[in-house]
Amino acid sequence: AELCNEASENPQLSDKTDLAPSEDSQSLSKTESLEKVLNVNSISTDFNYRFLHFSARTTLDSSYVQELDEILKEARATENHLKQKREKLKQRFAVIANTLYL
């Protein structure tokens, strides 16, 4: 009986209990927040996976480019070496030819 009198004498108490969110609405709010967090985490995880995959692929591509550059440098060096040898052989044959004709 005292509680009823207290609530009727003090209308602020009854208003506060009426305005307080129910457990169901708090639970719903927490569930929505959790779903949002999980969704953000899912997007973040997907982004991280794609970024790491892209990064690994870029590193691999970069490695291939470096390897091709090295092969190209080696091929150019070999080409220059062969050109020099060819010139030396031409000179030697010219000397031999000149010796035979004299």
Domain ranges of the chain: 2-101
Give the pLDDT band of residue 49 (cuts 50, 70, 90): confident
> What own/partner pairs with CB < 8 Å and gap ≥ 24 does 71-78 have?
none
Give the pLDDT band of residue 24 (cuts 50, 70, 90): low
Q: How many CB atoms lie within 10 A of CB 64?
A: 10
The percent of residues in the chain predicted with pLDDT above 90, rounded, is: 32
Which residues are CB-neighbours of 13 under 8 A, at least 6 positions away? 6, 7
61-85 average pLDDT score: 94
Round to whole Å and give the CA distance between 36 and 29. Answer: 11
